[in-house]
Amino acid sequence: MKIAFLGLGNMGTPMAANLAKAGHDVTGYDPATPMPAGVTGAISAAGAVQDAEVVITMLPNGAILRSVAAEVIPAMAPGAVLVDCSTVDVDSARAVAEQAAAAGLAALDAPVSGGVGGATAGTLTFMVGGPDAAFATALPLFEVMGQKAVHCGGPGAGQAAKICNNMILGVTMIATCEAFALADKLGLDRQKMFDVVSTSSGYSWTMNAYCPAPGVGPASPADNGYKPGFAAELMLKDLRLSQQAAGSADADTPMGALATLLYESFVEAEDGRGMDFSAMLPRFEKRSRG
């Protein structure tokens, strides 16, 4: 398949490389990043997409997505599919889908879960919104770049699924870190706490698979000085998106709102920027109730 890939940062570079390794003809464009092996560079985004059957974007935010879409949709070939793998606000995803439809094209919002490790290994999960036929066209590419693709519904449904998932993740990580800090002050051994909680009703992904306590449970960023697998500032971005969506939908999300405030303080007023989002544990260790 002939593919254009726009946005070759930490996530986009290995995703594009995996498509090229699988034998696809990949043309890339990124103003700040060199092309990975097997990917042909273009001098502009519009130039990259002209002959592509599928255009994939991996961009920082909704405003940039809207700008890039406005540039490339008029240049895309008839019948091509635009697949946005960025994590952006639902309104931007739906606006781009409407713009593509007006031009006779199809668009999918397809944010991912799995981080840089999953992008490199080709084990991402894709949460996809958009038309059935476009999903069928893109599915072979999702299967190269990931291990699972879930068609969640119409335009914006993929972003909605990602935002809801990561709101749960942020809230759960805070609760897990709070519990370890409380256990410390109660004199409970961390390994004993893990042994109980990981097999009891407190079971969660943040406890069992991504434990924030060093030396406890499977290897995680906590065992590597909290160097980010998923950076705290990216969690803050996703939590802010959840609250933007909650405002648009008139949804009451008090735990999501509080998690957003806590990560905002951690990233912007404390030492959380550049740390893994599980570094909330040492934050709570240093704090008292007052």
pLDDT in tens, 239-272: 999 999 999 999 999 999 999 999 999 999 999 9
Compute CA distances 274 → 202, 225, 229, whole Å.
28, 11, 10
Bridge partners for 148 per DSSP: 125
- The answer for residues whose C-beta is within 8 angstroms of residue 8's C-beta and 6 or more apart is 16, 28, 29, 30, 33, 35, 36, 39, 58
pLDDT given for residue 264 in this prediction: 98
pLDDT given for residue 290 in this prediction: 72
Q: Taking the model in full, what pTM does it have?
A: 0.91
pLDDT given for residue 169 in this prediction: 97
Confidence of residue 161 (pLDDT cuts 50, 70, 90): very high
**Residues noted as catalytic:** 162
User: For 165, left (φ over 0), alpha (ψ -120 to 50), or beta?
Assistant: alpha
Average pLDDT over residues 137-149: 98
pLDDT given for residue 263 in this prediction: 98
User: Pick from 70, 82, 69, 66: which is nearest to 129 by CA?
Assistant: 82
pLDDT given for residue 221 in this prediction: 96
> Are 218 and 209 within 8 A, CB to CB?
yes
CA-to-CA distance for 104 and 148, rounded, in angstroms? 28
Residue given tokens 């599928």 in the structure block: 54
Task: Say yes or no to pLDDT of 285 above 90.
Answer: yes
In the chain, the percentage of residues whose pLDDT exceeds 90 is 97
pLDDT given for residue 117 in this prediction: 87
Secondary structure letter of residue 210 according to DSSP: S
Average pLDDT over residues 36-61: 96
pLDDT given for residue 115 in this prediction: 86
Residues of the chain with CATH 3.40.50.720: 2-153
CA-to-CA distance for 87 and 238, rounded, in angstroms? 8
Q: Quick one: tokens of 27?
A: 């043309």
Residues of the chain with CATH 1.10.1040.10: 160-286
CA-to-CA distance for 154 and 152, rounded, in angstroms? 7
Cα Rg of the chain (Å, integer): 20
pLDDT given for residue 61 in this prediction: 95
Average pLDDT over residues 61-68: 96
Mean of the per-residue pLDDT values for the chain?
A: 96
Bridge partners for 109 per DSSP: 84, 129
pLDDT given for residue 110 in this prediction: 98
pLDDT in tens, 17-41: 999 999 999 999 999 999 999 999 9
Which fold does the domain 2-153 belong to in CATH? Rossmann fold (3.40.50)
Task: Say yes or no to pLDDT of 209 above 80.
Answer: yes
The CATH code of the domain at 160-286 is 1.10.1040.10
For CA atoms 66, 67, 68, 69, give the dihedral sign.
positive
Backbone angles phi, psi at 241, to 5 degrees: -60, -40
User: Helix 232-249 to helix 254-268 angle, to the nearest 10 degrees?
Assistant: 150
pLDDT in tens, 213-231: 999 999 999 999 999 989 9
In the chain, the percentage of residues whose pLDDT exceeds 70 is 100
pLDDT given for residue 289 in this prediction: 87
